[in-house]
Structure 1
Amino acid sequence: MSESNKPSLEVCLSPALLHLYDVKNSIVVIIDVLRATSTICTALYNGAARVIPVASVEECVNIGKAIGGITAGERDGRIAEGLVHGNSPFEYPREFIENQTLVLTTTNGTKMLHMAKDAIQIVTGSFPNISAVCDYLISQGQNVILGCAAWKDRVNLEDTLFAGAVVSRISANFDINCDSAIAAEALYNTAKGDIYSFMKQASHYKRLANFGLEKDIEYCLTPDGANVLPLFKNGELIAG
């Protein structure tokens, strides 16, 4: 707690910076807007029993076989070789995913989840579940780190924008003494009139648009389409 008796709110813009933050005394929100954390909340919202995030494709295949789960994931924005399903939220409608276990590996998001393992609690956030995330963070009264998965450790626009959107919504409840939180909120305030158009200059927008995934991008930038809170417990994500 800070001197103001409010918990602190900080933004970590890349996994490469996470070691600089007090993870053990914070709730960490893992943010990988395009597309891991958008897909996770969508799958859980549509009735998935759980999502198991794993680091490698090999691990994904092995666990999927062992438990009869759906194996999915991407590398560099495309379905990873050896997996049947990718990282598009549109691949996980209720009629497909309900009561199923999704085993998921992604380029950036799953790595960040495992890095934050010592946190008080880990949740995942993206625009489709922004209200659930904000309500939870306010209700807990704990220090918060908004952890951007970024792109191969490089800061990215979409995760920073989401962090800024969260800061904008909940800052009155927290003590903010963090330049990256201030910067993220300023970026969000610049973009909020039309986030989709603003995102067209982003590297990952261009990467995914090259694969014809504009619909995915639009969904991942739209608030509250899958308003559920994924909680990370015992190596798996469940709907809170």
Structure 2
Amino acid sequence: MNNKPQLFTALSPALLHLYDVKESIVVIIDVLRATSTIATALFNGAAAVIPVDSVPHCIDLGKQLGGITAGERDGKVAEGLVYGNSPFEYPRSFIENKTLVLTTTNGTKLLHMALNSGAPGIITGSFPNLSAVSEYLIKEKRNVILGCAAWKDRFNIEDTLFAGAVVSRIKDHFNINCDSSNMAEGLYREGENDLYEFMKAKNASHYHRLTGYGLEKDIRYCLTADIANVLPLYDDGKLIAAGL
């Protein structure tokens, strides 16, 4: 038992510094919608997704690379960008063989925090690529931090639900002495039969925010398991689809 790697869940970027990032694979979780959109773009043949932490950097890099510049701030397409953070904006007919430069409110910020803290491995996770993430973490046999992007450092339900889904699938392969991981799994078990209705019943803040923008379709997609089952692996400044 003691030979198993450790698994922890950071429920907010504000808590990441409490964990041993330098010895862990960090899973960036931003279910609504960054990491769902990243998985979808790569699944549909994008050459790479480059996550950046500011809109000006996104615009500049997009010009340099001839890439598609996209992103959101507070759930809406960011000013100066043409495309947003909806997975439905990136079908194969549009994104195949192209580079997507993406900036988002929470997810890309957390990725850069993990990078700056010396994480030896970074992947992104969402329900659309749940199996790919789970299989990779089992195979790697290394310590794991499930990093929830949350909402402006505040806990949110959907990222915690995804962390719980991963814990429920891989817990036999890890030592888990982590209350947030156990709580996340309990929350997921409570809602797993219908995550959309669970979010609604729990009065989830992001459910209300995106529903207010008419994005129910996005929410339902982002809560559906394995519909873009690819592994986005951070490598040399880019997220690429890694072979499992």
Q: How many residues align?
A: 238
Amino acid at match of 2:45: G
- Cross-structure match for 1:76: 74
Amino acid at match of 2:228: A
Alignment partners' CA distance in 2, 1:26 and 1:47: 28
* Per-residue deviation, 1:119: 1.1
Alignment partners' CA distance in 1, 2:207 and 2:57: 28
3-state DSSP class of the match of 2:97? coil
- Cross-structure match for 2:156: 156
RMSD across aligned C-alpha pairs, in angstroms?
A: 0.6
Alignment partners' CA distance in 1, 2:28 and 2:136: 14
* Per-residue deviation, 1:8: 0.6
Alignment partners' CA distance in 2, 1:25 and 1:58: 32
Alignment partners' CA distance in 1, 2:119 and 2:88: 30
Alignment partners' CA distance in 1, 2:189 and 2:213: 29
- Cross-structure match for 2:62: 64
Amino acid at match of 1:105: T
Q: How does 1:21-100 map to 2 (within 5 A)?
A: 21-100=19-98
Alignment partners' CA distance in 2, 1:195 and 1:186: 13
Correspondence 1:230 to 2:232: yes
Alignment partners' CA distance in 1, 2:194 and 2:94: 32
Unaligned stretches of 5+ residues in structure 1? none
Amino acid at match of 1:148: C
- Cross-structure match for 2:171: 171
3-state DSSP class of the match of 2:234? strand
- Cross-structure match for 2:215: 213
Amino acid at match of 1:12: A
- Cross-structure match for 1:130: 130
Alignment partners' CA distance in 2, 1:138 and 1:205: 31
* Per-residue deviation, 1:129: 0.1
TM-score of the aligned structures, taking structure 2 as reference length: 0.97
Alignment partners' CA distance in 2, 1:164 and 1:175: 15
- Cross-structure match for 1:204: 206
Correspondence 1:112 to 2:107: no
Amino acid at match of 2:125: G
* Per-residue deviation, 1:234: 1.1
Alignment partners' CA distance in 1, 2:178 and 2:138: 18
Unaligned stretches of 5+ residues in structure 2? none
* Per-residue deviation, 1:101: 0.3
* Per-residue deviation, 1:195: 0.7
Moved over 4 A (4+): none
Query: How much identity, in percent, do the aligned residues show?
Result: 72
3-state DSSP class of the match of 2:136? helix
Alignment partners' CA distance in 1, 2:124 and 2:194: 24
Alignment partners' CA distance in 1, 2:167 and 2:120: 20
Amino acid at match of 2:217: K
Amino acid at match of 1:53: P
* Per-residue deviation, 1:6: 0.4
1:113-164, CA deviations, whole angstroms, 9 ceiling, x for partnerless residues? 0111111200000000000000000000000000000000000000000000
